[in-house]
Chain A
Amino acid sequence: MMPDGKTTAPPARRSAPEVTLAGLGKTYRGAARPTFTDLSLTCPAGRITVIVGPSGCGKTTLLRCVCGLEDTSAGTIRFGERDVTKVDAERRGVAMVFQNYALYPDKTVAGNIGFPLRMARMPKPDIERRVAAAARLVRIEDYLGRRPSELSGGQRQRVGIARAIVRGPDVLMMDEPLSNLDTKLRAEMRAELGALQRQIGATTIYVTHDQTEALTLADHLVVMRGGVIEQQGSPEDVFLAPRNTFVADFMGRMNLIEGKTADGRLTTGDGAEARLDGYPAGREVVLGFRPEEVALGPAAEGGLTVSAPIERRELLGTEVLVTLRLGERLLRVRVPVGTPLDGTITVSVPPRHLHFFGADGGRIDFAAEALPRRQVSSR
């Protein structure tokens, strides 16, 4: 747990392990269905793995299993070579940052940060040195004598983070650490957390429901739904080539149009139509594109062109979010401020920004289906 309990320098990383979950299953006692079954995942050593998904998808349960707060029903958890599946939480050496901070209310900031070291029976002068170092790292050093109730939410979470990193943990868990903070603070802390993690180099598992946090912080991104990993990979891969309609919708809120391709057209079930050039005809597809990736006017060379009446306008600043009605479906597009917006508008999406999914929701790669002039985007 404390291989280098005598070091006094702020936790500088050396040996963060890869965290491997193999065939992990969890069924809560008395629950009708398992929270997840046969879940396998590798979290790269020293990097941030972000698990993102809607509430109830099992991401927090997964995190709690990894740090030992919950038993697993099946499978193994390894930190590097070490099998920790049956190791008790207090001996697993995992540190955690909680959504509601979970500070000890009657201890000072210094007492909170130093608590894990006291439990590890570190000598007092060493504790003081390391508490000071950890506090400096999260810029809370001026508040060491205060109690949590005298701190703001952001300061409390800084204390929570300092307490988690003070031991120099190899594996660090973060359970929606920024969710209780206001928007501006959240953006600041997000950037700081990323920098801090690179500095200490612990293998980090970060759970969130916020796609911005997921994309900005992740080295390895895992999208979960209903206890199943829908997609994992680098955040670029996940964002640019979502594997199915769920990921497409959850990461970046794609517009999704179900329909059937015909020669140069896409017809939807409710009789609406859009121009679609350069794709095989007679296929049931779900076509996806993001609101940011449209251009004004008809497509110049292939791609999708939609002409539809405007339903709603919302000013976002330099852009306007326009809601269009295509048949019974609402589509969101972002256009520059000053675009004439009355009645109907024509927008287009170039082929590299179009995503196709089958009727089952899975991604279709038309490029791989012998259509060499189509390049489905995957940077």
Chain B
Amino acid sequence: MTKRSTSPFAPGQIAVHVALAAGAIFMLLPFWLMIRAALTPEAEIFSGNMLTLGTVTLDNFRRVFAEVPILRYYFNGIFVVVAIFIGQVIVCVPAAYALARLHFSGRELSLWIVLGALMIPYQVTAIPVYVILAQFGLIDTRSALILPFVANAFGVFLLRQFFLAIPGSVFEAARLDGAGAFHTLFSVVLPMARPALVTFGIFSFVSHWNDYFWPSFVLRSDAAATVPFGIVRFLDAELGSDYGPQMAAATLSVLPLLVGFLLAQRQFINGIAMSAGQVE
């Protein structure tokens, strides 16, 4: 925070900070309750002060690791999320580049189709997609979790907007420097698009890591289960109303996102601001 001429004790400032603090408590309290329950012995969860830690124990985590194949869920989750993102980059970057920079008949129409796809929630197409996956015998595999999300209208649109903001002369310079479409894309455009890719990557990672609907729709067993689906399945079957292990499992499912965010914080903010790759 830089110092402004307004006093920090001005009534307006105080009101703003009270509102922000209330919002922060509202958003952080559930996390606190989750972590507290995860670290508290089963018997003490509903006794004592909810806002302070009593006896700290890792027993709940031990139970989760012992009874739930959580490492498999982690592996599946990471595999699925990474595969989806790689697929999305392979599909969306060239598509966005074509829509932003190449001239071909049907470009306008293609753009409208992308925009249209953007407006359709994927639950609407869930059944047809399920039928297709079933025809290919992919139900209850990791492919069923990956393939439907590889072509992503949001990604195409976001990247297209970013490519449009790059001055045309940069593309022309690359052409005159002897770079074909492929080299222009990979040697010039992709490095510039890093902030946009990071932003998109975060959206993609978070939504697919947390997704519960789609795995519950196409998976039968927990062989290909991702973390949320696997945990919920297991909780239902084994842990019933044991809140300690439940909260420990929930903590474990958000942990990778938290770590990821802390590592990529700067990139993330740059990506939201989307200014890092711009030419003046």
- Binding between chains A and B: yes
B-chain residues with CB within 8 Å of residue A104 when the two chains form the complex: 170, 173-174, 188, 191-192
Residues on A with beta carbons closer than 8 Å to the beta carbon of B173 = 96, 98, 102-104, 163
Closest to A29 in B: B103
* Complex Cα spacing A231 to B173, Å: 30
Residues of B within 8 A of A105 (CB): 192, 277-279
CA distance A116 to B187 in the complex (A): 11
How many A-B pairs fall under 8 Å by CB?
Answer: 72
Contact present for A90 and B192 (CB under 8 Å): no
Contact check, B178 vs A106: say whether CB atoms are below 8 A apart.
no
- How many Å lie between the Cα of A148 and that of B278 in the bound state? 11
Q: Is A326 an interface residue (CB 8 A)?
A: no
Q: How many residues of A contact B (CB 8 A)?
A: 28
Q: Which of A1, A69, A100, A107 contacts B178 (CB 8 A)?
A: A1
Binary B-proximity of A94-125 (CB < 8 A = 1, otherwise 0): 11101110111111000000011011100000
**Is the contact region of chain B dominated by helix, strand, or loop, or is it mixed?**
helix
The docked-state distance in angstroms from the alpha carbon of A141 to that of B62 is 61
Alpha-carbon distance between A139 and B130 when the two chains are bound, in angstroms: 63
Is the beta-carbon distance between B176 and A94 smaller than 8 angstroms?
yes
In the complex, whether A254 has a CB less than 8 A from a CB of chain B is no
Q: List the B residue with the shortest CB-CB distance to A116.
A: B177
Q: Verify A98–B169 contact, CB threshold 8 A.
A: yes
Partner of A106 from the list B172, B176, B179, B194 (CB cut-off 8 Å) is B194
A69 to B169, CA, bound (A): 10
Cα–Cα distance between A139 and B278 once the two chains are bound (Å): 26
Residues in B with CB closer than 8 Å to A96 are 172-173, 176
Contact (A100, B167) CB under 8 Å given A106-B192, A106-B277, A149-B280? yes
B contacts, CB < 8 Å to A: 167, 169-170, 172-180, 183, 187-188, 191-192, 194, 277-280
Cβ-closest 3 pairs across A and B: A102-B169, A119-B178, A116-B177
Residues of A within 8 A of B (CB): 1, 67-69, 89-92, 94-96, 98-100, 102-107, 115-116, 118-120, 148-149, 163
Given contacts A98-B169, A105-B277, A120-B178, 16 further A-B contacts (CB under 8 A): A67-B176, A68-B175, A69-B172, A90-B176, A91-B178, A95-B176, A96-B176, A98-B172, A99-B169, A100-B169, A102-B167, A103-B279, A104-B188, A115-B179, A119-B187, A163-B177
